[in-house]
Structure 1
Amino acid sequence: MSTETITVAIRAEKTQRVGWRGWAALIVLMLPVLLVSVDNTVLSFALPAIAVDLAPTSAQQLWIIDAYPLVLAGLLVTMGTLGDRFGRRRMLMIGATGFAAVSALAAFAPTAGLLIVARAVMGVFGAMLMPSTLSLLRSIFTDRDQRRFAIAIWASMFSAGAALGPIVGGILLEHFGWGSVFLMAVPVLIPLLVLAPLLVPESRDPKPGRIDAVSIVLSMATMVPIVSGIKELAVYGLASVAPILFAVGVGFGVLFVRRQLRRPQPMLDVRLFRNPTFSGALLVNLLSVVGLVGFLFFAAQYLQLILGLSPMNAGFALVPGLAAMIAAGLLVVPIARRVAPRIVVPIALLFSVGGYVAVSRMGEGGSLLLLVVAFVSLGIGIGAAETVSNELVLASAPPAKAGAASAVSETAYELGAVLGTAVLGGILTALYRTNLVVPDGITGEPAMAARETLAGASQVAANADPSLAAALTDAAGTAFSAGVTVTALIGAGLVVIAGVIAAATLGRRQ
């Protein structure tokens, strides 16, 4: 499909401004968005309690975290396409029912193995939820201005969930067991199951193609090895199986693309990527999420392990940045009506660059106020860029393929989240290990644990002689701060690249 054809489709689309039912439907659709985004960050706070109760091995602990995003990333495109065919609201209802039921089972998992299985099945149903919410917004809000505002709220819920995760996790774990972080899905999704049939209209592709089982398998065989490779590379470096996983994923990806190009009604119309606005918006989306998640990775550790805040108070410290992100996402809507995205997005991302630069100059003597201000600056840029880029992805695709386009956008988000932790987090961890000088009195396993992570050093210091504890704490803080300086500058560079891509590809005001 050519760029001209897509443009004609956008202009020919019937637009009608929605009333209160449309906005009520938006509120209902925000429930799964908020839940899934909270789930992305809350589980890490429950992992220590899970480790005590279920005694998982180190490999099982990784799989408890990774099983969900691996399955989710592998199935997003498939579930988005199935939603186009069978009905997006139907997929949303199936996903919500399954996610709530499996979450309740996960809360009472008696073994680590069963918890891993539950997390993987949650990924299946989670993949049904997210593309459905964004594609339904595309069908409900046909008026471009209203859709921009709706997507701004959608993106804000993602940001809100990511920042609320530590707060929600801290409150739940302070009063209840680790299963509570899974049980919270039930009261959130029950209102969705009741209200969605009443308020959310069904939509689907009027001319769906046949179900292509081969393409489904190829899409999963592409995404799962790539996501796994990113995680392996972050933990074990190039000496791991990461290069093999990348090669496998790329190989299946080539086969997937070739098959889509040959089919008259492909599962995913890869010709959409020839549209520079579509591709550019996806890259901006991905790099923005990398910047956000990478920042949160070291900010959470700095707040808790360097500045000594509790998990809940560390979460509250991020609230001003969250508020700035939401406000920027909403305020950019009227600006985007009048100013071209190739101007709006780069200017917005300058704020994010400023936030990263401020962190790079923080050093060991950084203060809570400086980190909060830096996150506010970062949030302004990310909030505006995410709203504009997500709206452009949907607007650049035909309405009948909204589910597939939404799934591609969601895949970019998931990859960005994985890359943010794996790349920026991996660089920070490597720099910390390189720069750390363990005091002479700490040897053996304690020394190895201190070199592994900042959290490990803090645990060793808590059980060491006071003089050695102070020396190790100072050394770990110095090493971590030095790593933050370099990592923040790399993060700033990635955001600059996102701004350059936006200026080159996002085009004029539409």
Structure 2
Amino acid sequence: MTLGPVLLVAMDGSVLFLAMPRINEGIQPTTDQSLWILDIYGFVVGSLLITFGNVGDRFGRRRLLLIGASVFGLGSLCGSFAPTPEILIASRALMALGGATLLPSALAVISELFENPVQRARAIGIFAATFAAGFVIGPIVGGLLLSRFWWGSVFLINIPVVVAFLCLAPTLLKEVKGTRPGKIDIPSVLLSAVGLLLAIYGIKHAATYGLDLLSGALVVAGTGLVVVFVRRQRRIPRPLLEIGLFRQHVFAVAILTGLLSLFVWSAAAYLSMTYLQSVLGHSVLVSATLAVPGAVVLTLSSVLTPRLVERIGARSALILCHFSMAAGMALLLFTNETTGVLFYIASTVVAGIGFGISFSLVADTAVGAVPESRAGAAGAIAETSNEIGNALGIALLGSLLTVVFRMTFPGDATGIAEFIEESGTASPAFATAQAAFLDGYHVVAALAGIICVALGLLAVRWIPRDTGAQGDPAASQQPVDTVNT
């Protein structure tokens, strides 16, 4: 029952990557608005996951799951019929508000059902596999819908899942509360949310319109607020983010893995869908089908990661994770204007091994490193690293592609989708636009690969060789003194 919301959130993410070219045609957002349609969900969820993890710990996780599912369903309904980019962005923000309640509460419920570390690791592996399975189901269902109906139909697939969950959860799920009395620190919520939004908006504005005083001021202000947020977490008695957990090298590397693996995955998934449809000219359904092999490998990798960790240890699993992702990104460098499907499939299959390990191992690390009463907050840290990485990847690496496109394309267009809408694929300059997009695509792939290699080297250096191999990456270290709990 708790896996229903997980499947729902994952399907939504993968369907949106696939639907963006049709959304661009349907309501004609600007390049900046297109990125916000993709990004706003991750920004809002990332900003509020830790908050709602704490709320669930204190006031009840079943109640929060029911409220969150209702809000998510309402946002999906509004998004499916959005007539303008602004309304679609607002609908996605409403969906994110609901989604921020679903993931940490679902993960906390799973952790409470399985107290044995090995069983918990396997259960979280299934949790991660369900999340990955959503990326298999989403493109297939979305491709079928988009080939027959308008783009808004992809949001309606959430409604049956929400309705079934709301009908069954009150009966099948018991209410569980943590042992964390007290109020949520509202200033911390505002500092983290506003700081992140300001910084990313400044970066996106600079990439689309060029560096100016406004973009610089936004980045500086947003970064400053995030710094104040971190400093505040060290001082207050009940922080949203327990900084002390990051003193464990294994925990820190795992959370960095969660952040940066999604940073790489989200950008590669979104930009690859644009490549398949806008550069190679494949239909929505064909593009969705091409994504299935990699998604299947990712799902299997998530399921099998706990067994892999039992055999080779968390250290070796994390190292394998990083270098397989790097190899997958390197394969994207061989794509071009006429061929590249095989390299794309090979990339998703090879990188899918690493992404599956990351999705499964990061969550288990976070939950296993803290007392049961803090399971929701710890799970929220893991999910926050994923969601913020997801949003940052699309925003920052998407903006990097925009910068390269603007530097290499001689016209005024800021992206290939915008160019196609205005000039058409039959225009003489389309080949130039294809080349400009590929230049940016290859720069993004190269940078993503370098990030993965750097993470692998960090894992080699920071994680001790005797790290436990029973599904708990922190097993070989003593618990951190979380003085703020």
Q: Which has the larger radius of gyration?
A: 1
1:286-340 per-position Cα deviation (integer Å, ceiling 9, x unaligned): 1111221222133212222332210121111011111111112222211201322
Matching residue within 471, 477, 480 for 2:437: 480
Matching residue within 396, 412, 426 for 1:448: 412
Alignment TM-score, normalising by the size of structure 2: 0.86
1:27-63 per-position Cα deviation (integer Å, ceiling 9, x unaligned): x222212222222243465567667776777776665
1:347-383 per-position Cα deviation (integer Å, ceiling 9, x unaligned): 2332222222222234456432222112111111211
Partner of 2:66, secondary structure, is: helix
Kindly provide the amino acid, as one letter, of the partner of residue 383 in structure 1.
G
Partner of 1:448, secondary structure, is: coil
Alpha-carbon distance in structure 2 between the residues aligned to 1:276 and 1:97? 38
Structure-to-structure mapping, 1:13-92, within 5 angstroms: 28-43=1-16, 64-92=37-65
Q: Give the equivalent residue in structure 2 for 1:193.
A: 166
Q: Give the equivalent residue in structure 2 for 1:340.
A: 313
Shift of 1:82: 0.6
Alpha-carbon distance in structure 2 between the residues aligned to 1:213 and 1:346? 38
Matching residue within 358, 371, 378 for 1:398: 371
Partner of 1:208, secondary structure, is: coil
Distance change in 2, residues 1:188/1:399 (3 Å): same
- Identical columns (%): 37
Alpha-carbon distance in structure 1 between the residues aligned to 2:337 and 2:79? 40
Shift of 1:394: 1.6
Distance change in 2, residues 1:232/1:401 (3 Å): farther
Corresponding position: 1:153 with 2:126: yes
Shift of 1:66: 4.4
Q: Give the equivalent residue in structure 2 for 1:501.
A: 458
Corresponding position: 1:414 with 2:378: no
Q: Give the equivalent residue in structure 1 for 2:91.
A: 118
Shift of 1:81: 0.9
Gaps of 5+ in 2: 469-474, 476-485
Does the 8 A contact of 1:435 with 1:479 survive in 2?
yes
Does the 8 A contact of 1:230 with 1:242 survive in 2?
yes
Report 1 or 2 for greater relative contact order, CA contacts < 8 Å, sequence distance ≥ 6. Answer: 2
Does the 8 A contact of 2:64 with 2:105 survive in 1?
yes
Kindly provide the amino acid, as one letter, of the partner of residue 158 in structure 1.
F
Alpha-carbon distance in structure 2 between the residues aligned to 1:396 and 1:91? 24
Alpha-carbon distance in structure 1 between the residues aligned to 2:303 and 2:219? 38
Q: Give the equivalent residue in structure 2 for 1:218.
A: 191
Corresponding position: 1:247 with 2:223: no
Matching residue within 80, 87, 108 for 1:107: 80
Please, which moves more after superposition, 128-137 or 422-431? 422-431
Gaps of 5+ in 1: 1-27, 439-446
Matching residue within 301, 317, 320 for 1:328: 301
1:110-130 per-position Cα deviation (integer Å, ceiling 9, x unaligned): 666554443332222221112
Q: Give the equivalent residue in structure 2 for 1:173.
A: 146
Please, which moves more after superposition, 422-431 or 301-310? 422-431
Structure-to-structure mapping, 1:251-262, within 5 angstroms: 251-262=224-235
Does the 8 A contact of 1:103 with 1:122 survive in 2?
yes
Q: Give the equivalent residue in structure 1 for 2:482.
A: none
Does the 8 A contact of 2:46 with 2:385 survive in 1?
no
Does the 8 A contact of 1:232 with 1:240 survive in 2?
no
Shift of 1:222: 3.4
Kindly provide the amino acid, as one letter, of the partner of residue 484 in structure 1.
Y
Shift of 1:486: 3.0
Q: How many residues align?
A: 467
Please, which moves more after superposition, 58-67 or 268-277? 58-67
Does the 8 A contact of 1:346 with 1:503 survive in 2?
yes
Kindly provide the amino acid, as one letter, of the partner of residue 442 in structure 2.
T
Does the 8 A contact of 1:102 with 1:118 survive in 2?
yes
Alpha-carbon distance in structure 2 between the residues aligned to 1:402 and 1:207? 11
Q: Give the equivalent residue in structure 2 for 1:444.
A: none
Corresponding position: 1:231 with 2:204: yes
Alpha-carbon distance in structure 2 between the residues aligned to 1:59 and 1:362? 26
| Structure 1 vs Structure 2 CA RMSD | 2.9
Does the 8 A contact of 2:17 with 2:270 survive in 1?
no
Structure-to-structure mapping, 1:373-392, within 5 angstroms: 373-392=346-365
Q: Give the equivalent residue in structure 2 for 1:352.
A: 325
Q: Give the equivalent residue in structure 2 for 1:25.
A: none
Alpha-carbon distance in structure 2 between the residues aligned to 1:370 and 1:62? 26
Alignment TM-score, normalising by the size of structure 1: 0.82
Does the 8 A contact of 2:415 with 2:437 survive in 1?
no
Q: Give the equivalent residue in structure 2 for 1:276.
A: 249
Shift of 1:192: 1.6
Partner of 1:204, secondary structure, is: coil
Alpha-carbon distance in structure 1 between the residues aligned to 2:215 and 2:227? 18
